[in-house]
Structure 1
Amino acid sequence: MRAVVCHRSELTVEELPELTPGRGQVLVRVLRSGICGSDLHVRHHAQLTHDTISEVGYHDFMTPDDRVVLGHEFVGEVVAYGPKTRSRWQAGTRVVSLPVLGTDGGVQMTGLTPKAGGGYAEYVLVSEAMTMEVPDGVSLDHAAMTEPLAVAWHAVRKGHLGRKDTAVVIGCGPIGLAVILLLKASGVKRVIASDPSPGRRNLARRCRADVVIDPARESPWHEFVDDKRYLTDAVSYLRLGLTTMERLRRLPKVPWWRAFQAAEVAGALPKGPVVFECVGVPGIIEQISTQAPMLSRIVIVGVCMEPDTFRPVMAVNKEHEFRFAFGYDPAEFRQVLMWLADGTLDPSPLHTGTVGLDGVAAAFDQLGDPEKHAKILIDPTAE
């Protein structure tokens, strides 16, 4: 089969041996595969990523010297089954799969290890247990984006937003745009998006962000300064606390502390916005912690490949809450697929180009320009 192989940061199209499905596996003919930001990173930072992931227990992640077929976002059609499978779908059935392959040597990360080639190829192996049929009416292009949208849905769920909460998305690359889509799909009424790129700001609008900010011209935090629902510094926090206690003390026959407890249970106490960091460069966490209002919940979605620092004392004084998001679970993956099927999710703004296998190397270069592309899909069947 033809496939794109990554070796020492070079991407080349090669002829590889045919794949044979093993125990519990399904052979799938790839119809579309997405180029992920993680693929762009790992092309040049494979050793750093390998060393980090080895520390958390996975030792088969690719290194620069490995020959790896990338691609963990894909949709395809069933071709054949290996032993110990239920053969759940007929040949030709369109499916998507979580990129986790069960093998005799253990569980492998599809498209990120030489032990489980990915979707930049004519064929890919998947675990039957992790595979789902694509509902009728979902296009190949949309189905191919199930995986990155599941990443965004997991991050949004980490934020624990109510519909009336305000979300701030810093960075409108593919994952930031996906977060905006999932925030709106889940019913969040106010989403502020910030990115220095005019092209990405335009895509953020198409993804239904309510306010789109150019950080070179204005601050995404500006409206919180004059909004009485939000506290911007510790002094205002203490002042509000004293004022609130004085008012509560005046209530007849109600202990002020009990009224304070009731207000907390009812969600009536002040709280900050939920911030999604989708940039992944050194310094961005410190910048957000310094500028964001008090009591903000900050979800780190961007993958920073380098060591970084921030001032804990700033976060402590503002009582910021940090949460880090990685991956998704099967239920989140399926939820996204159902939303694609019923029209709740329309990822069309993300899709800015399609190439064949021979165009993958050039597509990687083009994705470095934020004004040109967001998400490029690969069609291995194209000439």
Structure 2
Amino acid sequence: MRAAVLRDGRMIYRDDVPEPTPGPGQVLVAVTACGICGSDLHFAAHGDQVLAATQSMSGSPSSGASVDLSADIFMGHEFSATVLEAGPDTDTYAAGTAVTSIPVLLAAHGIEPIVYSNSTMGGYAEQMLLSAPLLIPIPNGLDPRHAALTEPMAVGLHAVNRSAITQGETALVLGCGPIGMAIIAALRTAGVENIVAADFSPSRRRLAATMGAHLTLDPAAGSPFDSVTPKVIFEAVGVPGVIDDVLRRAPVRSRLVVAGVCMEPDTVHPFYGIAKQISVQFVLAYEPAEFTASLRAIAEGRIDVAPLITGEVGLEDVGAAFADLADPERHCKILVTP
């Protein structure tokens, strides 16, 4: 079977990966499309740091995860697929049904996240295993390429839901990568009346307006807080210094929702947040109901993800696509279509 795997920090094309075999409760599917996520890029470049930070945490569901960085690693968690066959004693959708799923595989030994693994196949492959109870059929007429973006859209919806923003409150989204775009789309769907987006990239600012931002700002021209007084700030940048700058500049009693994943040590001045009584909420992933709601929003046309798809590659070109995504002027979301 053909697949793209992470080996020594680089995505490598292979045509000799063993085909997965579904066990009880599992379904073999053919991957239709899989989006390349920024977390995949980060793991490829800093896998040792990601694993060290994950394993050092207490109370994290993935704190005990073990990945051998010297062996091939399977990735790809934003996918749509077609049912091929079910495992033993497994009732599921008929062969040929277009489906998607939250990226989790239920196995005999427990729950295996489909994120990065030496054994569990991800969406950068011709075929993969999914859990029958978690399958969601893609509505008739929805392009399965668009359905593959359900996962990142759910991340944005979760951030917005956790913010408890109301329609009349001003939202400021810092960073217009795929997650920032997903937050903007969720804010627009929620009917928020004033959505402001900030990014250094002109093309990202244009795309943010397409996704629903009412105003876009260039941070190089001045702090966004000089132009707007937001009630809720969404941090989707993930680089050191941003959170502290937000605490320093944000209005009194505003709310900061941190969706950007920063893997480096960062310094904040608690005094800023204390003096202004700023609420800080860190968010991760989504609830299953938010995943389903995001698919429905895409299928019903309330969220148009087509503008986010700026490239499409086969398995043999995944490595080049990882490099291309470093340029925000060229790409937002590249799909892998095996």
Cα displacement (A) at 1:190: 0.7
Q: Where do 1:197-276 residues align within 5 Å?
A: 197-224=201-228, 273-276=231-234
Q: Which residue of 2 aligns with 1:234?
A: none
Q: List alignment gaps of at least 5 residues for structure 2.
A: none
Hey, what's the Cα distance between the residues in 2 that align with 1:222 and 1:282? 21
Partner residue in 2 for 1:13: 13
CA distance in 1, matches of 2:67, 2:33: 23
Give the alignment of 1:113-152 within 5 angstroms. 113-152=117-156
The residue type paired with residue 337 of structure 1 is L
Describe the superposition over 1:186-207 as per-residue Cα deviations: whole angstroms up to 9, x where unpaired: 1111100000111111111111
Task: Verify: 1:62 aligned to 2:87, yes or no.
Answer: no
Partner of 2:163: 159
- In structure 2, the residue matched to 1:93 is 97
Task: Give the number of equivalent residue pairs.
Answer: 333
* Alignment deviations for residues 235-256 of structure 1 (CA, whole Å, 9 cap, x no partner): xxxxxxxxxxxxxxxxxxxxxx
Task: Provide closer, same or farther for how the CA distance between residues 85 and 188 of structure 1 changes in structure 2, counting only shifts above 3 A.
Answer: same
TM norm structure 2: 0.96
Instruction: Say which of 312, 324, 331 aligns to 2:282.
Output: 324
In 2: Cα distance, 1:212 partner to 1:277 partner: 15
The equivalent of 1:50 in structure 2 is 51
TM-score w.r.t. the length of structure 1 is: 0.85
Q: What is residue 375 of structure 1 aligned with on the other side?
A: 333
- Summarize deviations over 1:45-85 as a string: whole Å, max 9, x none: 11221222223252235342231121001001000111242
Give the Cα separation in 1 of the matches to 2:269 and 2:193: 32
Partner Cα separation in structure 2 for residue 29 and residue 112 of structure 1: 19
Gaps of 5+ in 1: 225-229, 231-271
User: What is the RMSD of the two structures over their aligned residues, measured on CA atoms?
Assistant: 1.2
For 2:330 and 2:40, the matched residues in 1 are separated by 18
Corresponding residue for 1:24?
A: 25
Instruction: Measure how far apart 1:349 and its partner are.
Output: 1.8
Distance in 2, Cα, partners of 1:27 & 1:106: 18
Q: Decide which of 80, 87, 94 is 1:82's aligned counterpart.
A: 87
3-state DSSP of counterpart to 1:221: helix
Deviates more, 1:107-116 or 1:325-334: 107-116
| Paired residue type of 1:278 | A
Kept in 2, the 8 Å contact 1:50–1:63? The answer is no
Which residue in the other structure is 2:35 paired with? 34
Larger Rg: 1
Distance 1:84 1:310, change over 3 A: farther
Q: Is the 1:101–1:127 contact (alpha carbons within 8 Å) kept by the matching residues of 2?
A: yes
User: Between the two proteins, what is the percent identity of the paired residues?
Assistant: 43
Which 4+ runs in 1 deviate beyond 4 A? Answer: none
CA contact (8 A) 2:102 2:134 kept: yes
